[in-house]
Structure 1
Amino acid sequence: MQVPFYKIDIGKKEQQRVMDVLQGNAYYAVEDLEANFEKYIGASYAVSTSSGTGALHLAMLAIDLKRGDKVLCSVNAYPAVPEVVRHFDAEPGFIDIDEETFNIDLDKLENYLEDNQSKKLKAVIVSHIAGQPMDLERLYNIAKIYNIKIIEDASDALGGTYRGQKIGSTGATITCFSFSQHLKRNICQGGMLVTEDEDIMARAKLLRNHALVTDEDSLEYIYDVTDVGNKYTMSDLDAAFIDVQLSRQDQTIARQQEIAAKFTQKLKGVAHITIPEAKEDHAYTNYIIKIDKNRDSFARELEKKGIDTGLHYIPLHLLSYYKTKYMLRINDFPVALRNYQTVLSLPIYAALTDKEVDYICDSIKEIAKTRV
C-alpha cells in the first residue's frame, strides 16, 4: 500500500469554479475569497497573497519593519519566518520551545523580554505548530506589558480555534495563513493576511502590488507609485479553487481530529512511541509522534512500507545560514534540539481512509517491535 504524506481532495465544485475562471465567468474570484475569508475567520479585513510566505513578508512591510529592528520567533519554525525578517536587514531572535506542544516557550519568551528591553524590538512571530494554538491569552498579556506587536503564523492552523474562537480573530496585530501547509504540497498556492487594524490593511493592500495607485477618473492604464512594494497578488484560478476548499475547511478539520483520535487510540502504549497531547483546541494539521530509538531509521522502514512521513521542523539554529550568521551553538536551544532528534509527522488529511490509518498504525507497531 502507498500512503503519501498529503493528498488533495478535489471535488466537482472545485473543477467547476476553475472552469468558470477559464471561461471568463469569475472576474471577482479574489475579492469573493477575501470576503468569504473575513466571514469564516470573523476578521474585519483579509488581504490575499500569492503564498503564505508572501503573507508573512507583507506583514513585515505593513508594520514598517526597518534595518536593525528585531523580531523574535520560535527556533522551531519554518525557514520562511526568519527569512522574511532578514529581507529587511532586520534581526531575528530565537526562543526555545515547549517540549510537549512544540510551540514557543512563553516562560522563556517573557524572560528574554525582561532581560532585553529595546526600542528596536518590533514584534514576535508565533507559529501554531501542527495546528495546536499557543496560550494566546497569556501571549497577548505579555505583548501589552512589553508593548510589542504579535504576528501569528497560522500556516498550520487554518480553521483552527482557540477556546472556541477562530485563529485570526483572537487579538493578534496580524495573522498570516497559508493554503499550502508546510511540507504539504498543494496544486495551488496562496496565502492570506488578516487584521483588525484599518491602517495595516490599507498599507498591506497598497504594497502587495508594487504600491501602484490609480485615479478613478483617469484611464485605467494611468497609474502612480507611492512607495516600494512587491508583487504578492493571488491569481483568480488559485482564489476560485481555494474558495471552494475553504467552504469545507471545518469538515476537513473534523476529519483530521477523527483520524488523530484513531492514531491516539491505536498507538497509545506502543513501545518507543510517544503520542501528542492537545493542550488547547487542536486542528491536527500534523500528527507528530516521538520515536526514542533512531527516528530516521524508523522513517526509512515506514518508507519501505510505502508510508511517507514529514519533519516539523529542523531547528533554525542547526541551519547553516543562521548558525553561521549568529554564531549559534548546537546546545543553545536544548529542548528544540532534543525534540528534533525524535519527532516524526505522520500522514493526516481528510482524504486519508480508515484502512490507510490502520495500515499506518500496524506498520508502526511492527517496526517498534524490532527496536530494543
Structure 2
Amino acid sequence: MTTDDVDYVIETVNALCQKHAKASNARAAIPLAAPDITEKSREMVMDVLRSNSLSFGPKLEEFEKTGAAYAGRKYGVAVNSGTSALHLIIRTLGIADGDQVITSPFSFIASANCMLFERAEPLFVDINPDDLNFSPALIEAALKKDSKKRIKAIMAVDIFAHPVDWEALYDLAEKYNVRLIEDSSEALGSLYRSPDDRTVKRWKKSVKTGCFGDASVFAFYPNKQITTGEGGLIVTDSRHIYDMCRSLRNQGRAGESEDWFGHCRLGYNYRISDINCALGLSQLNRIEEILKRRRSIAAYYHERLKPLPFLTPPYSAPNVELSWFVYVVRLAKDFKRKDRDAIMKRLREKGVACTNYFAPIHLQPFYRTMFGFKPGDFPVTEDIAGRTLALPFFNAINTEQMDYVVDSLISVVKKG
C-alpha cells in the first residue's frame, strides 16, 4: 500500500465519520457520549498506517506495558474487546463446566456471558442501594451455602467506575479460598483506599483500579474514559495468566517468538491491531488530563442536580474517587419504569440523548429461559434499574450544553 493509498483511505474514513456525525446530530443535538480524539491521536494512527506493522507491532507492546504500569501491574495483554479479556481470564483460571462464579446482575451482560462460554454459571447476588455494587454480606451468604464447593471465583464489577469494597472482597476470597477477578471495564483511573472504619487496612493510601485480584480487565469502547475504537486489556501480576492469555488470544500458539504455526492448545482470534493500540496509547499518555476533565463535568452536573427533589445524583463513597464512565442519576422512588421511559422519550424530542443503565442481566430473555430467573429475584437491582437515567457525558460537552440538559430534564419532569 502506497502513501497515496493510505491518504485516500484516511480521507474516505473521515468523510464517512463526518456523514455519520451529521446524521447523529440530526437525531440528538447533544449526544450521550463521544470519544476525545486529538490531532496527536490521528498522527499516531497514521504513523502506524504508513508503517509495515499493522498487527503484532511495536505499538501493541508499548500499549500493553504502559497500561499495566498505569494500573500498578507487572504484565498486560491487549485483546480486541473487554468481553474477550474476561473470557480469557475465566479460561485461564480453569473455570469450567459446572463451576459457579459470583457476580452482579446489575452490569453489562459480558461480565456474566464470559462464564457461559466455558459452560460455567454466574451466581448473582443483589447490589447495595448506594454504590450499586454487589453486597459483600450477600456474597458471604452465598459462599456459606456452597456445600458442594462449586463456587470458584468472585467476579467484581466496578460499576459506573465506582470501586467495589475491595477490603471486604479480599477477606472473603482468602476465607473461602476462591479466586478474585476485577472487571474494571468501566473504571480506568478510579481510586480506592481502605475504608476508615477498618481496623486492619490493606490500602492506607489510594490505589488505582486494575491492581486488584488475580487479574483485572479494562475495556475501551468509544464511550469509555479512553478508547481504542474496540479493545480490552488484561493486567495481572501472574506470569502464568500472562503467558496463557497471550497464547489463547492468538489461536493457542505456543509463543509469539516461537514457531508461528505451532499451536499447543485451543485458542481464539482475539488479537488487536497496532492501529487500535496507537489510538489507545495516544489517550493513555494524556489520561490525567482526560480524567480531570471528566471529574469537572461530573462536579458541574452534581452542583446543578443535587438540589432537585425528584432525583439522586451518582453516589461516591468517602474512600473512592471516580474516573467517571457515565453520569447516571436515579429518579425518586415514586417514579416507575414507565415514567422514566416517558421522560427519556421527551428528552430525546428536545435533542438530549439519554438512556437507561443497565437492564438487569437475570431478566434478559436468554437468561430467563436458560436459568428460570423471574422478576423479584433481585429486588434492589430491579428497583434501581427501573429508575436509572444516563445523561450526556463526554469530554467536549460544555457548560451551556449541560445547562440545557438539566433545564430540559426539569421542564420534562414538571410537565409530567
Q: TM-score range by the shorter chain?
A: over 0.9
Tell me how far apart the structure 2 counterparts of residues 257 and 214 of structure 1 sit (CA, whole Å).
41
Aligned pairs for 1:4-15 within 5 A: 4-15=31-42
Q: Give the CA deviation at 1:118.
A: 3.6
Q: Give the CA deviation at 1:183.
A: 8.9
Give per-residue Cα distances to partners, 1:90-132, cap 9 Å, x unaligned: 1111111111111111111111111224432111111111111
Establish whether residue 278 from structure 1 lines up as the match of residue 316 from structure 2: yes
Letter in 2 for 1:322: Y
Establish whether residue 174 from structure 1 lines up as the match of residue 215 from structure 2: yes
Q: Give the CA deviation at 1:268.
A: 1.4
Establish whether residue 357 from structure 1 lines up as the match of residue 402 from structure 2: yes
**Partners of 1:174 and 1:194 within 8 A in 2:** yes
- Identify the residue that residue 302 of structure 2 maps to in structure 1: 264
Give the TM-score of the pair, scaled to structure 2. Answer: 0.84
Identity %: 30
SS of residue in 1 equivalent to 2:181:
strand
Question: Match for 2:106 among 66, 76, 81?
Answer: 76
Unaligned runs of 5+ in 1: none
Mean Cα deviation higher: 360-369 or 297-306: 360-369
- Identify the residue that residue 212 of structure 1 maps to in structure 2: 253
- Identify the residue that residue 347 of structure 1 maps to in structure 2: 392
Tell me how far apart the structure 2 counterparts of residues 168 and 325 of structure 1 sit (CA, whole Å).
32
Tell me how far apart the structure 1 counterparts of residues 225 and 166 of structure 2 sit (CA, whole Å).
26
**Partners of 1:209 and 1:231 within 8 A in 2:** yes
SS of residue in 1 equivalent to 2:321:
coil
Q: Give the CA deviation at 1:364.
A: 1.4
Tell me how far apart the structure 2 counterparts of residues 32 and 331 of structure 1 sit (CA, whole Å).
47
Give the TM-score of the pair, scaled to structure 1. Answer: 0.94
Q: Give the CA deviation at 1:186.
A: 6.0
- Identify the residue that residue 3 of structure 2 maps to in structure 1: none
Q: Which runs of 4+ in 1 moved over 3 A?
A: 181-187
Tell me how far apart the structure 2 counterparts of residues 175 and 257 of structure 1 sit (CA, whole Å).
23
Give per-residue Cα distances to partners, 1:156-181, cap 9 Å, x unaligned: 10122212211112x31110110116
Tell me how far apart the structure 1 counterparts of residues 383 and 214 of structure 2 sit (CA, whole Å).
32
Tell me how far apart the structure 2 counterparts of residues 311 and 245 of structure 1 sit (CA, whole Å).
27
Aligned pairs for 1:320-335 within 5 A: 320-335=365-380
Question: Match for 1:226 among 264, 276, 280?
Answer: 264
Unaligned runs of 5+ in 2: 1-27, 194-205
Distance 1:104 1:214, change over 3 A: closer
- Identify the residue that residue 287 of structure 1 maps to in structure 2: 327
| Total equivalences in the alignment | 367
Question: Match for 2:156 among 106, 121, 126?
Answer: 126
Distance 1:185 1:325, change over 3 A: farther
SS of residue in 2 equivalent to 1:224:
coil
Tell me how far apart the structure 1 counterparts of residues 297 and 110 of structure 2 sit (CA, whole Å).
29
Give per-residue Cα distances to partners, 1:203-233, cap 9 Å, x unaligned: 11111111113696x8x65x32111111111
Give per-residue Cα distances to partners, 1:31-58, cap 9 Å, x unaligned: 1101111221111111100111110111
Distance 1:336 1:70, change over 3 A: same
Tell me how far apart the structure 1 counterparts of residues 363 and 100 of structure 2 sit (CA, whole Å).
20
